[in-house]
Structure 1
Amino acid sequence: MLHFSEDPTITRFVPHVAATARQPEPYVWAVDHGRAPDYWFPRDCPRAMTWVGPTTANADRERIIGPGGGTRLHAIEYRWVTRLLDARLYAYRLPASSFRPIGEPTPFAMVSTEPVEPLGPPERVGDLLKLHETAGIQLRVLDNLWEFWDAVTASTLEFSGIRLRNAHPRPTPRDR
């Protein structure tokens, strides 16, 4: 299990209800290796992510990800590029024994209801842009995430949005 943070001084993770939580239960949150790229960003950076799944139509893949774009795409807004490039992100490795999957129908994270101590000191994640490149994840930079998000969520692609409340406001018809 992994937990990503810009704070390299955490020695114990205690279950809590996050200010943005949809669940009333207190948890320690973590992700597995497959969901780790969702967190290769500064904490508050809004991001819209999409990837090819087993039921993805070729037309949706071509229209949204694009030709030669691989199978996964992350989008952020221009105002977050400098913060992405400057971020000092750390990965904490956590013992898997107390975690269980959360999310229906497909789990999106792992949670523990018990305090968890890291297996060792956190590791600096490094260059977040390079991580995307090495993983073959297209990183798209947009003025505003909402038109992209609407296209993704109406498609057959799989998707996840994190910290979208921090994105620029949705444009009005007059703004387009």
Structure 2
Amino acid sequence: MLFHFSEDNSIETFVPKEKQNRLDFPAVVWAIDEEHEFTYYFPRDCPRIVCRRDEATTDEHLQLFFNNTIANTIVTVESDWYTRISKQTIFRYCFNDEGFELFDKTAGYFISRQIVKPKSIEKYDNLIESLIRKGIELRFTTNLNPLREAILASDFKGFGIHRFNNAKKP
């Protein structure tokens, strides 16, 4: 089973589209696997940084990005988004795997070049509680730039940066 998250609960058919920030990429329908779906428990435009600990995480990375926590996954967002996250309702569209191909194993992304009809749709409220139930540590900061710069200056690979164009300027 694969998923697509949206603030819109009226999508009956997913038609392949080009990504606005990747015009050189073909039109596709994007989906995510269950392991990584938590990265979309946010309002669509919410900037966020996801750090995931795994066997390749070095002691240096643990000290830099996982200091004083036992959590394997940390999502950091800017404090200004707290109210929007806590009040947001999103919808999880469920797809059969058929017709999808793995695009990025680390992020759990799949793509389809075909029109896709969802099998079902589920309403998600209480996004912060949903993250907590999945064991995700949610952190708030006044500005994401210092964390982003620290990650990009390191050789840490267990991260994802989402919608950063909406983050505050340094």
Fold conserved between structures, TM > 0.5: yes
Q: Which moved more, 1:146-155 or 1:41-50?
A: 146-155
Q: Distance in 1 between matches of 2:59 and 2:68?
A: 10
1:32 aligns with 2:33: yes
- Is the CA contact 2:143–2:168 (under 8 Å) kept in the aligned structure 1? yes
Which is richer in strand? Answer: 2
CA shift for structure 1 position 35: 1.2
Query: Which residue identity is paired with 2:134?
Result: A
1:99 aligns with 2:100: yes
The aligned residue for residue 77 of structure 2 is: 76
Q: Name the TM-score, length of structure 2 as normaliser.
A: 0.92
> Identity of aligned pairs, percent?
27
1:86 aligns with 2:90: no
- Is the CA contact 2:16–2:112 (under 8 Å) kept in the aligned structure 1? yes
CA deviation string 1:104-162 (max 9, x = no partner): x8464100000000002x10122111011111111111111011112233153500011
- Is the CA contact 1:48–1:75 (under 8 Å) kept in the aligned structure 2? yes
The aligned residue for residue 124 of structure 2 is: 125
The aligned residue for residue 168 of structure 1 is: 168
Aligned length: 168
Q: Distance in 2 between matches of 1:23 and 1:108?
A: 21
The aligned residue for residue 152 of structure 1 is: 151
The aligned residue for residue 134 of structure 2 is: 135
Q: Distance in 1 between matches of 2:107 and 2:43?
A: 23
Q: Which moved more, 1:39-48 or 1:62-71?
A: 62-71
Q: Distance in 2 between matches of 1:84 and 1:7?
A: 16
CA RMSD of aligned residues (A): 1.6
Q: Distance in 1 between matches of 2:97 and 2:24?
A: 21
The unaligned stretches of length 5 or more in structure 1 are: 172-176
Q: Distance in 2 between matches of 1:107 and 1:83?
A: 24
Q: Distance in 2 between matches of 1:67 and 1:107?
A: 25
Q: 1:84 to 1:23 in 2, by over 3 A?
A: farther
The unaligned stretches of length 5 or more in structure 2 are: none
Q: 1:51 to 1:106 in 2, by over 3 A?
A: closer
Q: Name the TM-score, length of structure 1 as normaliser.
A: 0.89
